[in-house]
């Protein structure tokens, strides 16, 4: 299996890795706006996207370009045609509304796994689980608390040596 060197850091390297079927790619979101139109069709390809600091990274144009590059647009267009009650060949792929729907919608071939220590409401709405029993809002899929991380030795308890003083 070919691995990309950790020294290859250009957007063109990301494009080539995606187009050549490299199975594991570690990159930053900021490379997608440069190459999103140059990525081969993603039909029949599935992607798992692991997002760090989800609270600040998934609402900008870079995140939309990632979806544009990796989404199975043919599947999205079929779904759009079905919703609109029209034949697939009647869908204008260049229509701005259609393009917006593709970049903003959920895609069956994209699985997002997002991590954050400080979730905002918008982050929970995007990645969380809807509240049940008539409650409004969203809940995190899973919580790994600071207390648990301290108990398991993954982080230090910064309050252990906390002290106050008067000046």
| pLDDT value for 111 | 86
pLDDT (mean) for 23-27: 86
pLDDT value of residue 151: 95
Mean per-residue pLDDT for 73-94? 81
* pLDDT on residue 5: 52
pLDDT at 1 over 50: no
Q: What is the pLDDT of residue 7?
A: 47
pLDDT tens profile 140-161: 888 888 899 999 999 999 999 8
Assess whether pLDDT exceeds 70 at residue 56.
no
- Burial (CB < 10 A; 0-12, 13-18, 19+), residue 109, is middle
- pLDDT at residue 59 in the model: 60
The better pLDDT of the pair 56, 10 is held by: 10
Q: Hey, where are the domains in the chain?
A: 11-161
Write down the residue that tokens 């409401």 correspond to.
Answer: 121
Average pLDDT along the chain: 82
Least confident of 84-93, 95-104, 140-149: 95-104
pLDDT of residue 57: 59
Instruction: Please report the pLDDT score of residue 6 as a whole number.
Output: 52
The pLDDT-based confidence of 93 (bands split at 50, 70, 90) is: confident
Kindly state the percentage of the chain with pLDDT values over 70. 90
Q: Say if pTM beats, i.e. exceeds, 0.75.
A: no
């Amino acid at each position: 299996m070919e691995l990309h060197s950790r020294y290859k850091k250009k957007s063109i390297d990301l494009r080539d890795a995606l187009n050549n079927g490299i199975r594991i790619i570690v990159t930053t979101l900021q490379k997608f706006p440069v190459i999103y139109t140059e990525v081969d069709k993603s039909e029949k390809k599935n992607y798992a996207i692991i997002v760090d600091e989800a609270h600040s990274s998934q609402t900008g144009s870079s995140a939309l370009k990632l979806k544009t590059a990796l989404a199975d647009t043919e599947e999205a267009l079929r779904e759009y045609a079905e919703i609109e009650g029209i034949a697939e060949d009647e869908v204008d792929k260049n229509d701005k509304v259609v393009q917006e729907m593709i970049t903003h919608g959920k895609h069956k071939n994209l699985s997002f796994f997002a991590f954050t220590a400080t979730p905002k409401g918008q982050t929970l709405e995007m990645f969380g689980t809807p509240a049940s029993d008539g409650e409004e809002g969203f809940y995190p899929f899973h919580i790994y608390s600071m207390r648990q991380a301290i108990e398991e030795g993954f982080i230090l308890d910064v309050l252990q040596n906390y002290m106050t003083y008067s000046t």
